Structures are given as structure tokens and as C-alpha cells.
Structure 1
Amino acid sequence: MKHRINIALFFYIFIFIFSPNYNVSAAKPTGNENPDIYGKAAITVDMQTNEIIYEKNPDIRVYPASTTKLLTAILLEKNRKPNNILKYTPGAKNQPKSSLNRDIHSIEPGDSMTARDVMDGLLMYSANDLAYVVAENISKNAGDFSKKMNEYVKKLNLKNTHFVTPNGLHNPDHYSTSYDMSVIAREAFKSLWIRNTMGTYQATVKTASGLTFPIKNTNKLLGKDGCIGGKTGYTVPAGRCLVAIYYRNGRQILGVVMNSVYDPGDTYVFNDMEKIINWSYDEKPTILYKKNSIIGKQIIKYRPLYFIGPHVNIEVPIRIKDNVAYYDNELNRKELKKDMNFSNITFKALEGKAPLGDLTIKERNYSKSYKIYSNLSDREFLKKIIPFYLKTLLVIFIGFLMIKFIYKRSRGK
């Protein structure tokens, strides 16, 4: 009986090890697993460093819906002051829900309001009509305003964004990406006016004719777990979209979720955002090179006689004194670049007593430099350059003898 059990145990171990579904080399240690979200595209970015922490399809083109209004707000901030007066236009009157005119109270073209109230309605209530108020007050019409939008997109060096409308209502040629939208959101957040508006819970928009519109922020995460601002969006083709900025323990992280699910309770996109933000605050960078490790060898051209004479090629082990780390995601693995610059090739540097130069780690919109050092021992270094000095002394000595010989010959004549 015992013999049969041993045979069966051996058989199961054999199947387990040699099964095609078992791959030791592919095994990955469990840790902070990527969050499972409904959004088709998403990204989180460290606001201080621009490091991409989390990403899901960051470069696929999606419809941005009302997150478009972040760029409309940027152009309003750059072209008008908060106390400037903007007229309500016929184009604004024609906009569908969600708008102040359709949802709360009819507004007649020719009525007016301050730019501050327009900004409140634009970003807090996400009013489609007020996006046209901005467009048609800053430009001669919405088409001309879209040109300004795309000029600004080009200025931000965004390759996958094109805007047609100031409010983001669906148009097949109106698109962006979660990455591009994160850049637009970071740009918008630089403005104190926009930042304060996104962070306001409720306000009252007034017109010159005496109409008042109490509004609340559509961002359900505002004030929760460090959320200090954001912008919502929805159309049927775009799905639910959300930009949110968080501040926790002295650190700001921006999140973007695009094309999530719109459910009756309107919770999915907000749950998606909470997942990727919480994950991003918990995520630790992966060590690319450990502190005081050798990161490779480099042939260094060293001129022992400083500014004159030939070079000596010396193979130098390169050491890094600090941990070099990055956020390990698919985008960073694909785009990560490592550049070494040797700017201080001196005797002291080759001895390891001063930096040889820098190692620069580059990601899409982030770079960081680390000092690199020679790991040659004194003995190895001297071993490589002493033959050069001996040869140099020999050449000098022979040259001296030749000069002396020529001098004697010339004296003898």
C-alpha cells in the first residue's frame, strides 16, 4: 500500500512539473497587483515628477466628452479676467442638456455674466451652454475657437488629440487619449483660478438680468480621501470619463479614466478612479540598479598628459552610488531610456574619488540623473597607465639622447 502511494505521489509531482501550463520562468512574485477597472483607458501621474505610475491603454484614441472643458477653461483663463463680462450667445442657447438654459432656467441671448460665474458653471456643473459662451466671446464663432483649441494642443505637443467642439459633445473627429488628457489636466491645474474652481463644492451663477443658478460640483469624489479637484464627462459614445487630482501626505497624483461604464447609480467611473489612485499611492518604484552596484563596463579614452599627447583606452567598471528606480508598467518598460554621459574624465575620477559623469533615466515626460563613478582599484588603474608613462619616458629619453648627439655633432663641425 505504501509503495502504491509513493508511486502516485511521484506521478502527480511529475505531471505538475512538466505540465505545459506550469512555467517557472514566467512566475512573477505577487505584490501590488494592477487594479481591475471598467474604464477602457486610464493613467495616473505623479504631479511633482511627471512619472507615470499606472497606465491602461494610455495612447488609444477615445472620446473625451466634457473633460474637453478643461482646455476650454484654460483658454478662458488666458483670455479673460474673472471680473470680465461675457454675453450669452445664440450658440449657447442651442446647446442640449446638460446646460443651465435647458436644465434650470431659460436664458436669453444678450444676457451676460462674469467670467468667474462662467468658469464656475463650466467646470462645476459642466454646462454645455457656457462652453459656447466661452467660445463665442473669445472667438468669432465656435469653429474659430476649435482652431485655438488645436493650436494649444499642438503647443502641448500632444499627438493624439483633436478637438471640434468647446464642450466635448460627440463628433467622430473629436478625440483624445488618457495620456493626452493628463497633460491637459496638469496644464489646467497650474492656474489658481481653475484649481480653485475645480475644488469648490457649490456656487451660485448669476446673470445681469437677475437670474440665479445654484450649482453643485458633479465630481462625487471631491473632498473624499484627498481629492482636491477634477472634471467629469459623459456621452453615450464616450462612456463615463473622469479626471481627478489627489493630495495625500504631501504628494499630488492625477488620475484619468476614460470610457468607463455609466450605471444607474453613476458609481463605476468613480470606483475606477478610487482603485487606480489608491493603488498608485501604495505602489513602490522597482529598483533598476541597486545602490553601490556595478551597472556595466565602459571603454574610457583617457589622456594621461591632460591636454596633450595620445589617449589611452581603459575599460572601466561603472558604479552607481544610489538606488535607480522606476515605476514598472508596460509603457515605461517600452519607452525607458538609459543614457550615460562621461563629462569628467580625470585622474581623480578614474580613481573613483569624483564622479565620471551622469546616468540619465528617461521616460515619456520624466527624466532623472544620477552620478556615476569608476570602480577601478588604484592597482588596476596604475597597471593600465604605468606602461604609457614608461613608454613616454622612454621616448623622452631617446629624444634627449638624439638632441644631445645632434648638438655634439654640430659643435664638432
Structure 2
Amino acid sequence: MKKKNLIKNIALALSLSIFSPLAYAKAEPVNVPKIYAKSAVSIDMDTMEVILDYNSENKMYPASTTKLMTGILLAENKNKTDNLSYTKSAKEQPEYSLNTNVKPISIGETMSADDVMKALLLFSANDASYVIADNVGENVDNFIKMMNDKAKEYGMENTNFVTPNGLHSGEHYTTALDLAILGKKAYENSWVRETMALKKASVKTSAGTIAIMDNRNKLLEKNGNIGGKTGYTTPAGKCLVSIYERDGRRIVGVVLNSIFDSEDSAVFNDTEKIIDASYAAKKSTLIGKDEVVETLPIKYKVFRFFGPEKTIDVPFTSRQNIEYYENDLNKKSIDKKIDVSLLNPWKLDTNVTAAKLTVTEPLTSKSYDLYPGISKSDLVKENLVLYVLAAVATLVILALITFIIAAIKRASRKKRRKRYF
């Protein structure tokens, strides 16, 4: 009896897999692990797909993760060997500056741009940000405009910068999603990427001041971490933008407003949790193979190029599974559009693509071929009675024309005979 039930179950499973093309496995949503941070996100750096989302569009304060943008602008406008002057606005910056935490620096002393970059990204020196702002933008206001212009260029739609170092201001804000974009852009800049990857560095000024500093990113070179930038203010909490590479796959993760615990470990633990979850995440099926994506009314002329216009409902299907990471952000914002602008109803073929489906996610989009569920032969079947009637009408007209021509000819012959007699 048990054997019979087993056979029946196997047969049922086979029938479902063979005859039910829409029966496909559905992955679980990408769950957010328990973290202290109030906002987090991860994205695949190659595909720009959002993998994990946790309040990633909420307005947050970036603190010193801001310095990634400052570093990018330095790299784009100066060479490593250029000398930058230490300025008055740099001298005025509070602690976590070279001037206050390492050794006093006089206004007018110079540093190589490469040393300034190291002080900015490893030690997170607040005064290094103003050295860059004054030397690259000529003044801080110009540099802030450069920062916001670059943010718009990158598509960071919910970001506004008012300082080059991220010290707190209610008007200096961003989102985890925008910072993920910034993290990717920072990694793509070779100078910034190389600097973020340093565990230690020494810097000096023209007066000979030397500082040896450690990278504040405690995760560097652990479990695939290849770079990142820390940040902290009391309103912003502990922040971290981190870049990972495992098995050739790169992911950028952002956590914002984590707690400052006694061991300063929470923000790093939060990051490792979301990164591990992101690498383990599986995609869910948005549209299954051979599933009808949409049925659209398509207009056509009954006789191809002329005649009455009719409409037929055409179902469009995909020949592949269309997948995505199921999270709150993607579910809310994903958009599907079908383009049938080049479709010719009289060339419909179930084995030839007839439309394009574009699936748009928050940071990327992808196109897929769609195939029609009907062919031109279905148009013929749809109008078969009309074609028969048209054919009969055509034959009647041809017969009538033939009759008239024959009658005219007979009349003409009779007329000619009368003339001879």
C-alpha cells in the first residue's frame, strides 16, 4: 500500500513538473538579520541590484562617510604628488584632526595630495577635508557645490552636503541607498580604492611633521572586506560603508546609526551580518518561464493593409525565469513595461520575439524578449467567415463583370450584322 502511494506521489510530482510550466520554486524574501543599525542596505556592485533593504530610503546623517565624496573630488582634480596648503579653515576644525590629535600644523605648511588622501580616509582627519575643499574648490562654498553636483551626477537623489567632512548639520543628510552608490563610485576610483585598502600609512608636512596612522576600518582584510569608510557623530550614530569581494562577486554594504558600544564593535558586527545575509540571499521568481506576463489588445487591418480595423488579445510570455531579490524596496518600486511599438500583427509567430519587457529596479533595469501566444494563422481563423464572404462576393462580382462584358460583346456583334444587311 505504501509503495503504491509512493508511486502515485512520484507520478503526481512528475505531472506537475511536466504539464504545469508555472509551478516553480519560490525563494524566501531576503530577511534582514537582527542589527542595531536603524538603516542598512546592500547592493551587487556589478549588477546594481539591491539585495538587502532595511529602511534604506530613510533620511539619515552620514557623518564621516561623507569623506568618500571628498576623496573622489580630490582624486579627480589633483595628482598624488601635488602639494596642498594647510589653510585657516582646516586649522579651525575640531578634534579628530591632524592638527589637534597628532601635532599642531601651521597655516601655509604643505602636504602631498597623496598624504592628505591617506589622512582623510584612514585617520578620518576633519582638517584634511578642509585642506581638500580649499585647494580643490578654492573655497569651501565652491567645494560644497562640487559635492552636490557630483551627487546629482551619481543619481544620489536624497542627499545634500553642507560640509566636506560630515560634521553634524541638520541640512547635511543622505540615505543608505545613496551611500551605497557613493561606495561603489569610490571603489571605482583607483586612487581612492588603493587608499581604502591600506592598513597603515605615514604622512608628513613640509615642516617634517610625521604621523603613522591605522585604518579605522576594523574589518579590512577580514572575510573579503577590501575597503570602506567609517563615520560617527552623536546624532548620526556609528556608520560604515564597506566593500566586499568573495569568489569574484563584489557587494557594497551600508549601515547607519548603529550604537557606539564599549568595544566599538556593534557597527562592524552589523555590517558582517548584512554582508553574510547578502551573499547567502537567493533570488525569487518575479515572472516564471512561459508565464503570461500580460495580455494586450493589438489592432490590425483585416486584409493586412486595408479593410476594417479589429482588435485581438495577444498574450505575451517569457521563455526564461525573470528573477529579483525580494525585499521591501524592490517590491515597492519595481516596474514592468512592455514595448510593442515594432510589432507587426501579420508577422506574429509563437517562436519569434514580438515585444520587449523592461523590468526597472531602484538602481538598474534589464530587458527581456517576449513571445506572442498566437500567430498570424490565428488572425486568419478569427476572420475566416469574413474571408469566405469576401471570396464569395469577389466571385459574384467577377461573374457579374464577366456577364456584362459578354452581354456587351453580343450586343456589339448584333449591331455589326445589321449594318451588313
TM bin (shorter chain): 0.7 to 0.9
- Partner SS for 1:332: helix
Are positions 1:339 and 2:352 aligned together? no
Deviations 1:14-64 (A, max 9, x none): xxxxxxxxxxxxxx9977632111111111111111111111111211111
- Partner SS for 2:35: coil
CA-CA distance at 1:323 after TM superposition: 0.3
TM-score for both structures, normalised by structure 2 = 0.84
> 1:344 touches 1:355 (CA, 8 Å); kept in 2?
no
CA-CA distance at 1:397 after TM superposition: 4.5
CA-CA distance at 1:321 after TM superposition: 0.5
Q: Distance in 1 between matches of 2:235 and 2:93?
A: 18
Which residue of 34, 47, 50 corresponds with 1:49?
Answer: 47
Q: Distance in 2 between matches of 1:410 and 1:233?
A: 101
> 2:56 touches 2:175 (CA, 8 Å); kept in 1?
yes
Counterpart of 2:50, as a letter, is I
Are positions 1:80 and 2:78 aligned together? yes
> 1:88 touches 1:110 (CA, 8 Å); kept in 2?
yes
What are the within-5 Å matches in structure 2 for residues 351-390 of structure 1?
351-376=349-374, 380=378, 382-387=380-385, 389-390=387-388
Counterpart in the other structure of 1:242: 240
> 2:217 touches 2:230 (CA, 8 Å); kept in 1?
yes
The worse-fitting range, judged by mean Cα deviation, of 218-227 and 146-155 is: 146-155
What are the within-5 Å matches in structure 2 for residues 208-247 of structure 1?
208-247=206-245
Q: Distance in 2 between matches of 1:332 and 1:323?
A: 17
> 1:349 touches 1:373 (CA, 8 Å); kept in 2?
no
TM-score for both structures, normalised by structure 1 = 0.86
CA-CA distance at 1:233 after TM superposition: 0.3
Counterpart in the other structure of 2:117: 119
What are the within-5 Å matches in structure 2 for residues 251-270 of structure 1?
251-270=249-268
> 2:355 touches 2:371 (CA, 8 Å); kept in 1?
yes
- Partner SS for 2:73: helix
CA-CA distance at 1:314 after TM superposition: 2.1
Q: Distance in 2 between matches of 1:353 and 1:215?
A: 64
Q: Distance in 1 between matches of 2:28 and 2:218?
A: 32
- Partner SS for 2:33: coil
> What stretches of structure 2 of length at least 5 have no aligned partner?
1-25, 413-421
- Taking a change above 3 Å as real, the CA distance of residues 336 and 127 of structure 1, as seen in their structure-2 partners, is same
CA-CA distance at 1:275 after TM superposition: 0.6
Counterpart in the other structure of 1:168: 166
- Taking a change above 3 Å as real, the CA distance of residues 342 and 216 of structure 1, as seen in their structure-2 partners, is same
- Taking a change above 3 Å as real, the CA distance of residues 304 and 128 of structure 1, as seen in their structure-2 partners, is same
Counterpart in the other structure of 1:177: 175
> 2:298 touches 2:345 (CA, 8 Å); kept in 1?
no
Deviations 1:143-196 (A, max 9, x none): 332122222223334332111111011112111111111122222222111111
- Partner SS for 2:174: coil
Counterpart of 1:69, as a letter, is K
Which residue of 90, 93, 96 corresponds with 1:95?
Answer: 93
- Quick check: which has more Rg, 1 or 2? 2
Counterpart in the other structure of 1:141: 139
CA-CA distance at 1:78 after TM superposition: 1.6
> 2:243 touches 2:250 (CA, 8 Å); kept in 1?
yes
Q: Distance in 1 between matches of 2:399 and 2:81?
A: 90
Counterpart in the other structure of 2:327: 329
Aligned length: 386
